[in-house]
Structure 1
Amino acid sequence: MSSLPNSGEFLGHPKGLFLLFGTEMWERFGYYGMRAILVLYLVAMTQDGGFGWSNADALSLYGTFTMAVYLTPLFGGWLADNVLGQRKAIIIGGILMAAGHFIMGVPHAVVAGMEENVFYLGLTLLCLGNGLFKPNISTMVGDLYKEGDKRRDGAFTIFYMGINLGGALGPLAAGGVAALINWQAGFIAAGIGMVISVIMQLVLSKKYLGDIGVVPAAKLSAAQSSTGKKEPLTKVEKDRIKVIFTMSVFSIIFWMGFEQAGGLMNIFANDYTDRMLMGFEVPASWFQSLNSLFIIIFAPLVAMIWLKLDKREPNSPIKFAIALVFLALGFLTMMLALVTEGSGEGTMQISMMWLVLFYLFHTLGELCLSPIGLSMVSKLAPLRLASLLMGIWFLCTAIANKIAGLVGSFIGEGHEAVNNAMSIFIGLGATALLSAAAMYLLSDRLVDWMHGAEGQHEPHTQEHILAEELEVAAVKQ
């Protein structure tokens, strides 16, 4: 059993919660700060300190990288559970990620002739470190509380606020530094956030976390392992697995569109958006903060809406359909921007407000869909297959990220990019609407296959629903 030292409370919660809050906030600060400038750095001309890649090559790499961000936690979680323990995995992962950020920040002049090799090394370390860090920090939050402690939902709400705070501040800081100094300085700024995260764990975890996460979970549960033989899956279990597979596949459509944010939309903000505001040019990377800011603002409102609806609250498949409609509305916004402000020339510049609306619609969609994922698997998956089916959910998200990069790469260059962007927006918007209609038509069948699991054993309180809405950042990379 893990024990927590009596280190006192803050705001009614164990102080260890706020250590985990800070650890995750600074890690997300580093990750989202790096992600906000990654594609812009790749396509920047060499005389401006970038690689001068084509949009297609940069977005293809971006898709591969974000896919790896979802795949590596499958291995990192296993290592933590069976070999390292969560605390050691977090520290090792944090060190690897910090090293990755700083390696990406090495000036080209220092590694002349090996710039791309060094860059790939940095990205690899980020992927490996993320695999160890990402799946383990959130699970430690629950271990701070005894079974049945009513404060647990509130704890996750606080923790997820930290994730979104880091996601909002990272692009502002790293993007601002990159615009003011150079790209490498932006990556170093992201790395500094990661270093702070690691130092907090090294210095404070013993005092505020005790031995939570020290011993691998497999060793802790060894004494409780069952020796009984495996039973075949029942019809109810098979039906529920069908629901998980169906909704996981539909989630690919959503994330394929949503994840254009860090790739295609980053380039669109940089090249085809008028970013002048009262004489100040807003860095393109700053738009990457909008999603996290909108989550902080609108998650409580969405939670309140679900609470007010009470028994009329839409079921999970209908929420999926609503999310896909919001996704389509985001792309419709960009289509309207091109129609009303586009000149058909590669030098076209649209208003920043179109991008703000785009990110708003997509965030509202995310708040309808993302909290369902982990909750759905935990409710529907047979206990002996829970980890495997959770892995499939994340595998579909990884596939979506790779497809997102490939779709975005069709934007092309120069004059053709505007027309290509319109085609991409139309294609993604239409796919989202058709998928929403299909999910709506399937909703009754999917609810039947859940066999009563929908809505069972879930406290219908604003605090609980708010925790679910804020969980979106924990499900994201």
Structure 2
Amino acid sequence: MSNNNKLLMGHPQGLFLLFGTELWERFSYYAMRAILVLYLTDRTINGGMGWTVKDALSLYGTYTALMYITPLIGGWLADNYLGQRKALLIGGFLMVIGQFTLALPHDFLPFSVEALFYTGLGFLIAGNGLFKPNVSTMVGDLYEDGDHRRDGAFTIFYMGINLGSLLAGVVSGSVTGVWGWKAGFVAAGIGMIISLIIQSLFAQRFLGDIGVRPAAHIAKENAKAAGKSSTALTKEEIDRLKVVMIMGLFVIVFWAGFEQAGGLMNVYSQQYTDRMIGSFEVPAAWFQSLNPFFIIVLAPIIAGIWVKLGPKEPSSPVKFAMALFFLAMGFVCMVGAVLEQGGDLTVKTSMLWLVGAYFFHTLGELCLSPIGLSLVTKLAPLRLASLMMGTWFGFNAISNYIAGLVGSHVESLGALDIFAGIAITATVSGVLLLIISGTLIRWMHGAEKAH
């Protein structure tokens, strides 16, 4: 718990500090993500890299996968050596270097364009690994075991993530339209600097001792005082970790489909969507802001529905199944867009198909992502808290790699087959999760009651 006991909206003030820290870090990430594939595929005469769509989507999948696998390493370092706060600051500084490296002009000193580009991505990947698992874990650390406010806290935190994402799509799409691709990377770097300033100035005041010492050291001292082993896992802990791992498999399916937003759906909005409103052409990058806009609008509504359901509120496995069904509905919209083209790639489709897809995908995300973050902090042993959060993001890594792999085959398989295949896979996975949900709840040993 934080040394600061003052509450804001019924929650510790440290929650809103972490909200602001994550908001600007996510602004940095999504500002870069919104333009990455478009930058890679744009012609060199326009300041782009001139890559093929296949190569760009393949790189995008590899990059996002690494962004989600490195938190495993960052979580382990924080748990055992650095502590969460120090890991977060080091990671943020590395990401600042990465963004401004990407912003350097193509003719900078003797370096090749490719060398600058891969160096920038490398700094971003390494920094993200230290930053991402630890800010989420500290949100859970603000609350004692059994505190009913924890799920609500992660919903508020998640709105911060998406407010940053909403700003990112609009800002990056606007500045690149005026000043070119490099301006988008500069904007992303500025967002990361703001995140670091917020954390550096206010962490001690609002978080107290949270995240200062490595969690493994604290757990070892607690176990020694209680006369217990600090390393051996109990049967209850093993069962709970099994739940995390099994739920993670369904997370892979969800995000493999959802992450087409930054890849294949991004390209689709650029090349095949009628983006004209009167005489104004909507920048393709702006569509990346639909998802966070819907989250900010829908999150309070969804949270209110859970509260109103009371004892009938669905369990986490059932919410995950609902997420998969919503994902499938979103890709049914994309199937409709392709069918509207009728096989003629010169036909531009209605923007409403994309809006519908992002709407349903957002409903699915709200049933899965904040619930999953909260679940990990409920089920993971203290000494493994950041490591398990890193593991959770590791499932996202696998799904992002799969997303890039699937999207890169659009020229051979066709968009219709890809969109329909994802819809069918998501539906089947949701049904399977409903079937095994009772067993998963039993393995949680009281972390969630059966409904």
Q: TM-score, normalised by structure 2?
A: 0.88
Q: Tell whether the 8 Å contact from 1:55 to 1:411 is kept in structure 2 after alignment.
A: no
RMSD value, Cα: 3.1
CA–CA distance in structure 2, aligned partners of residues 81 and 237 of structure 1? 18
State which drifts further: 285-294 or 239-248. Answer: 239-248
Pick from 18, 21, 30 the counterpart of residue 19 of structure 2.
Answer: 21
Residue 162 (1) aligns with residue 156 (2) = no
Residue 435 of structure 2 is matched in structure 1 by 441
Alpha-carbon deviation of 1:395?
2.4
CA–CA distance in structure 2, aligned partners of residues 98 and 92 of structure 1? 10
Q: Tell whether the 8 Å contact from 1:64 to 1:405 is kept in structure 2 after alignment.
A: yes
CA–CA distance in structure 2, aligned partners of residues 237 and 15 of structure 1? 30
Residue 429 (1) aligns with residue 423 (2) = yes
Which one-letter code corresponds to 1:439 in the other structure? L
Alpha-carbon deviation of 1:238?
5.6
State which drifts further: 203-212 or 242-251. Answer: 203-212
Alpha-carbon deviation of 1:247?
2.4
Which one-letter code corresponds to 1:363 in the other structure? T
CA–CA distance in structure 1, aligned partners of residues 147 and 318 of structure 2? 31
CA–CA distance in structure 1, aligned partners of residues 206 and 308 of structure 2? 38
CA–CA distance in structure 1, aligned partners of residues 440 and 152 of structure 2? 30
Q: Tell whether the 8 Å contact from 2:79 to 2:386 is kept in structure 1 after alignment.
A: no
Pick from 83, 88, 104 the counterpart of residue 102 of structure 2.
Answer: 104
The C-alpha deviation readout for 1:231-262, integer Å capped at 9, x for no partner, is: 6754x666555443332222211111111111
Check 1:191–1:383 CA distance in 2 against 1; reply closer, same or farther (3 A cut). Answer: closer
Residue 84 of structure 1 is matched in structure 2 by 82
Check 1:191–1:420 CA distance in 2 against 1; reply closer, same or farther (3 A cut). Answer: same
Check 1:399–1:12 CA distance in 2 against 1; reply closer, same or farther (3 A cut). Answer: closer
Which one-letter code corresponds to 1:352 in the other structure? M
Check 1:181–1:156 CA distance in 2 against 1; reply closer, same or farther (3 A cut). Answer: same
State which drifts further: 384-393 or 271-280. Answer: 384-393
Residue 329 of structure 1 is matched in structure 2 by 329
Residue 63 (1) aligns with residue 57 (2) = no
Pick from 432, 448, 451 the counterpart of residue 454 of structure 1.
Answer: 448
Q: Tell whether the 8 Å contact from 2:75 to 2:387 is kept in structure 1 after alignment.
A: no
Residue 353 of structure 1 is matched in structure 2 by 352
Check 1:322–1:216 CA distance in 2 against 1; reply closer, same or farther (3 A cut). Answer: closer
The C-alpha deviation readout for 1:445-468, integer Å capped at 9, x for no partner, is: 444555655327xxx9xxxxxxxx
CA–CA distance in structure 2, aligned partners of residues 172 and 232 of structure 1? 47
State which drifts further: 206-215 or 299-308. Answer: 206-215
Check 1:445–1:221 CA distance in 2 against 1; reply closer, same or farther (3 A cut). Answer: closer
Which sections of structure 2, spanning at least 5 residues, go unmatched? none
Tell me the secondary structure at the aligned position of residue 61 of structure 2: helix
The C-alpha deviation readout for 1:12-33, integer Å capped at 9, x for no partner, is: 7665544333222111111111
Which one-letter code corresponds to 2:270 in the other structure? N
Q: Tell whether the 8 Å contact from 2:215 to 2:385 is kept in structure 1 after alignment.
A: no
Check 1:391–1:157 CA distance in 2 against 1; reply closer, same or farther (3 A cut). Answer: closer
State which drifts further: 253-262 or 215-224. Answer: 215-224
Check 1:407–1:291 CA distance in 2 against 1; reply closer, same or farther (3 A cut). Answer: same
Check 1:400–1:181 CA distance in 2 against 1; reply closer, same or farther (3 A cut). Answer: same
CA–CA distance in structure 2, aligned partners of residues 315 and 440 of structure 1? 10
Which one-letter code corresponds to 1:336 in the other structure? G
Listed as ranges, the matches of 1:32-181 within 5 Å are 32-110=30-108, 114-141=112-139, 156-181=154-179
Residue 273 (1) aligns with residue 266 (2) = no
CA–CA distance in structure 1, aligned partners of residues 180 and 80 of structure 2? 42
Which one-letter code corresponds to 2:212 in the other structure? V
CA–CA distance in structure 2, aligned partners of residues 114 and 201 of structure 1? 35
Q: Tell whether the 8 Å contact from 2:33 to 2:262 is kept in structure 1 after alignment.
A: yes
Alpha-carbon deviation of 1:366?
1.4
The C-alpha deviation readout for 1:255-292, integer Å capped at 9, x for no partner, is: 11111111111111111111112321111111111111
The C-alpha deviation readout for 1:306-361, integer Å capped at 9, x for no partner, is: 2333333333333222221111111111111221x204233221111111100111
For these two proteins, the number of residue pairs brought into alignment is 448
**Matched residues, percent identical?**
59
Q: Tell whether the 8 Å contact from 2:237 to 2:380 is kept in structure 1 after alignment.
A: yes
Tell me the secondary structure at the aligned position of residue 213 of structure 1: coil
Alpha-carbon deviation of 1:374?
3.5
Listed as ranges, the matches of 1:194-273 within 5 Å are 194-226=192-224, 228-229=228-229, 234=235, 240-273=240-273
Alpha-carbon deviation of 1:147?
7.7
Alpha-carbon deviation of 1:72?
1.3
CA–CA distance in structure 2, aligned partners of residues 177 and 290 of structure 1? 18
CA–CA distance in structure 2, aligned partners of residues 166 and 387 of structure 1? 23
CA–CA distance in structure 2, aligned partners of residues 179 and 19 of structure 1? 32
CA–CA distance in structure 2, aligned partners of residues 270 and 111 of structure 1? 33
Which one-letter code corresponds to 1:293 in the other structure? F
State which drifts further: 79-88 or 425-434. Answer: 79-88
Residue 363 (1) aligns with residue 362 (2) = yes
Check 1:262–1:250 CA distance in 2 against 1; reply closer, same or farther (3 A cut). Answer: same
Residue 289 of structure 1 is matched in structure 2 by 289
CA–CA distance in structure 1, aligned partners of residues 370 and 423 of structure 2? 22
Check 1:43–1:157 CA distance in 2 against 1; reply closer, same or farther (3 A cut). Answer: same
Q: Tell whether the 8 Å contact from 2:317 to 2:434 is kept in structure 1 after alignment.
A: yes
Alpha-carbon deviation of 1:430?
1.4
Q: Tell whether the 8 Å contact from 2:152 to 2:303 is kept in structure 1 after alignment.
A: no
Alpha-carbon deviation of 1:428?
1.1
Residue 395 of structure 2 is matched in structure 1 by 396
The C-alpha deviation readout for 1:108-158, integer Å capped at 9, x for no partner, is: 133576001101111111111111111222333455567888876665554
CA–CA distance in structure 1, aligned partners of residues 102 and 2 of structure 2? 38
Which one-letter code corresponds to 2:416 in the other structure? M
CA–CA distance in structure 2, aligned partners of residues 443 and 204 of structure 1? 41
Q: TM-score, normalised by structure 1?
A: 0.84
Residue 409 of structure 2 is matched in structure 1 by 410
The C-alpha deviation readout for 1:411-462, integer Å capped at 9, x for no partner, is: 12xxx7xx71111111111111222232233334444555655327xxx9xx
Alpha-carbon deviation of 1:36?
0.7
CA–CA distance in structure 2, aligned partners of residues 270 and 78 of structure 1? 40
Residue 420 (1) aligns with residue 418 (2) = no
CA–CA distance in structure 2, aligned partners of residues 207 and 310 of structure 1? 36
CA–CA distance in structure 1, aligned partners of residues 148 and 426 of structure 2? 38
Check 1:243–1:22 CA distance in 2 against 1; reply closer, same or farther (3 A cut). Answer: closer
